[in-house]
Amino acid sequence: MTNTLLIGAQWGDEGKGKIVDFLSRDADVVVRYQGGSNAGHTIEIGADRYVLHLIPSGILYPDKTCVIGNGLVVDPLALVHEIQDLEKRGILSAGRLHVSDRAHMVLSYHKALDAGRESRATRGSKIGTTQRGIGPTYADKASRTGFRMGDLLDPALPDRLRERLAEKNVLLKDMGADLIDPDTLCREIRQAADFLRPYIGDTVSLLNTAYKAGKQILFEGAQGTMLDIDFGTYPYVTSSNPTSGGACVGTGLPPRAINRVLGVIKAYTTRVGEGPFPTELMDATGEHLRQRGREFGATTGRPRRCGWFDAVVARYSAMVNGIDFWAVTKLDVLDETETIRVCTAYECDGKRYDTVPACIATLSRCRPVYTDFPGWKCSTSGITSQADLPPNAKDYVKALCDITGVPLGVLSVSPKRAGTFRIAV
Ligand code: GDP
Ligand code: IMO
Ligand code: MG
């Protein structure tokens, strides 16, 4: 039994969904532990493409138990949609999906507050959120004014919702945003409750029972280390802990239930939303990566900012997560690139940085120090084993591992299930 924790090691969208799907074959249980429907995890199987926002990516195997852990913030309406969509596509059978009664609920006023704040923010204070209500819901959780999925089963919920909404509508009014109608909110929530009732339960016990029975558990991180509220580029982050530490508090499983940590990294870097990005390319090379890598948000459709691989970020991620292996994705996107650059350190005000500075103003002024690698200028997307990689591609992947001090576990050269190679996990 080896339980694997899979972490995004950059700014999200590293290809976590695809790697979780790949590893799910060997797992019994796949569990998400943080975030919400801000996530967009893409899996391509043959001609079919699935984008999952709340449901773990293991769901595409018919025999896996999937859990939405207590650390998530769940939009009940979005979850109903996602379940119905999978049912329509013949994927979801009863009894396989479990939603924690402790997970907090994203309500329509959280989404309105998120959107309202973003639309009023001036340039420097805009975060570029997905507007899925994530920040306001985690804020309510911390303020002890939230509602949890288990509350959907409480007959007194409508009264409690109306009372809370009265407070939130004052904030919305101040922002000049549309107010939320209490009757609409209560109707929507009642309908969602009727639908979701069979899915909601005590996932902490369920997971611990599975753990004690020796079932193989795969933890699916969402977002990425640089979006972590503690370790990311604060304040340009999400409101949860995508890093390793989040996996225990977001599931109720103890630290010793995690046997290894797999960090997912693209062979280059992307970021969606605002905030510093030292290796960002604002030129034709950046545009080439965006087009070739189809770098458009799986949740919002926004173009992703693209840049060179940042080994400072990767080393930092390896440190804070305790990464045992890399899963390197999207190597094929570099197939046509003449010279590939890797940032090995930053420079700011004459000082060299080998790790990510906490101060956002400093990070914003950091300039990358690059090492160049020759491209391979041929297609890798059809290859069927690591041994078939062109020599320069092999050297590039080896360099990423050497510079970061983390060995290669999985390599991916295509969005499809095929085109993923297991090296050491
Ligand atoms: P996630 O949020 O980390 O699950 O990643 P996303 O699904 O948001 O974005 C990753 C995108 O890259 C998706 O469109 C995947 O289908 C695609 N992808 C994943 N691995 C590879 C790969 O090795 N090569 C290529 N070309 N695309 C990939
Ligand atoms: P996956 O799981 C990439 C970014 C947003 C914004 C910041 C805060 O698909 O990798 P939020 O809505 O969370 O309050 O937005 O975080 N962000 C993501 N970027 N991938 C994601 O998820 C993201 N989830 C949030 O763009 O910059
Ligand atoms: Mg994504």
Of 181, 199, 217, which marks where a domain is finished?
Answer: 199
Ligand 2 mean position, distance from CA 81 (Å)? 20
**Going by CA atoms, what residue is nearest to atom 18 of ligand 1?**
415
- Mean pLDDT, the chain, rounded, equals 96
Last residue of a domain, one of 166, 199, 232: 199
Q: 38 in ligand 2 pocket by Cβ < 6 Å?
A: yes
Residues 206, 362: Cα–Cα separation, whole Å: 45
pLDDT of residue 384: 82
Which ligand 2 atom sits closest to the C-alpha of 270? 3
Domain shared by 143 and 251, yes or no: no
Taking the C-alpha atoms of residue 142 and residue 147, their distance in angstroms, rounded to an integer, is 11
Q: Which pLDDT band holds residue 148 (cuts at 50, 70, 90)?
A: very high
From 20, 42, 59, the mutation candidate for ligand 1 (largest count of ligand atoms within 8 A of CB) is: 42
* CATH code: domain of residue 114: 1.10.300.10
Please write the tens of the pLDDT for every residue from 227-268: 999 999 999 999 999 999 999 999 999 999 999 999 999 999
- At residue 417, the pLDDT reads 87
* 81 and 151 fall within a common domain: no
Same domain, 410 and 268: yes
Q: Is the domain of 164 the same as that of 313?
A: no
Quickly state the pLDDT bin for 137 (edges 50, 70, 90): very high
Q: Are residues 352 and 207 in the same domain?
A: yes
Task: Report which protein residue has its CA nearest ligand 2's atom 11.
Answer: 129
The answer to whether the CB of 35 falls within 8 A of the CB of 222 is yes
The per-residue pLDDT for range 331-346, each reduced to its tens digit, is 999 999 999 999 999 9
**Taking the complete model, does pTM exceed 0.95, yes or no?**
yes
289, two tokens = 């990566």
Same domain, 399 and 252: yes
How would you classify residue 128: left for phi > 0, otherwise alpha for psi between -120 and 50, otherwise beta? left
* For residues 83-103, average pLDDT: 92
Q: What is the mean pLDDT of residues 299-321?
A: 97
- Are 242 and 283 in a shared domain? yes
**pLDDT value of position 233:** 98
Nearest ligand 2 atom to alpha carbon 300: 26
One domain for residues 154 and 258? no
On whether the CB atoms of residues 347 and 369 are closer than 8 A, the answer is: yes
pLDDT for 397 equals 97
- Ligand 2 atom closest to residue 222's alpha carbon, by position in its atom list: 2
Query: Structurally, how many domains does the chain consist of?
Result: 2
Range of the domain at 276: 4-95+203-422
pLDDT at residue number 197 = 96
DSSP code of 226?
G
For residues 76-91, one letter each, b for 16 or more C-beta atoms within 10 angstroms of the residue's C-beta and e for the rest, the string is bbbbbebbeebeeeeb
Residue finishing a domain among 175, 199, 223: 199
- Structure confidence at residue 348 (pLDDT): 96
Question: Ligand 1: which residue has its CA nearest to atom 26?
Answer: 414
Q: Are residues 193 and 228 in the same domain?
A: no
Q: Does 158 share its domain with 245?
A: no
Same domain, yes or no: 88 and 70? yes
Q: Residue 242: CB partners within 8 Å, gap ≥ 6? A: 7, 8, 12, 34, 35, 221, 222, 223, 224, 225, 227, 228
Nearest-atom index, ligand 2, CA of 38: 24
Mutate to test the pocket of ligand 1, among 226, 264, 329 (most ligand atoms within 8 A of CB): 329
Q: Which ligand is nearest to the CA of 41?
A: 1
Identity of the amino acid at 218: L
> Among 42, 8, 14, which residue's Cα sits nearest to residue 269?
14
CATH of the domain at 344: 3.90.170.10
> Residue 385 has what pLDDT?
85
pLDDT of residue 424: 81
**79/293 Cα distance (integer angstroms):** 28
CA–centroid distance, 212 to ligand 3, in Å, is: 32
Nearest Cα neighbor of 345 from 308, 309, 397, 310 is: 310
Give nearest CA residue, ligand 2 atom 15.
Answer: 129
Instruction: Return the active site residues.
Output: 13, 41
- Region 205-219: mean pLDDT is 98
Residue among 130, 137, 239, 266 to mutate when testing ligand 2 (max atoms within 8 A of CB): 130
Question: What is the Cα–Cα distance from 134 to 75, expressed in whole angstroms?
Answer: 9
15 C-beta closer than 6 A to ligand 1: yes
Backbone angles phi, psi at 149, to 5 degrees: -60, -35
What confidence tier does 1 reach under pLDDT thresholds 50, 70, 90? confident
Q: What's the pLDDT band for 381 if we cut at 50, 70, 90?
A: confident
Q: Is the Cβ atom of 12 under 6 angstroms away from ligand 2?
A: yes
Ligand 1 atom 21 nearest Cα: 415
Q: How far is the CA of 96 from the centre of ligand 2 (A)?
A: 27
Q: Average pLDDT in the 305-333 region? A: 98
For the chain, what percent of residues have pLDDT higher than 70?
100
Residues 190-210: what's their mean pLDDT?
A: 97
Are both 182 and 315 inside the same structural domain? no
Q: In terms of pLDDT, which residue wins out, 96 or 386?
A: 96
Q: What is the pLDDT of residues 154-173, one digit of tens each?
A: 999 999 999 999 999 999 99
Residue 93 has pLDDT above 80, yes or no: no
The per-residue pLDDT for 418 is: 84
pLDDT confidence band for 26 (50 / 70 / 90): very high
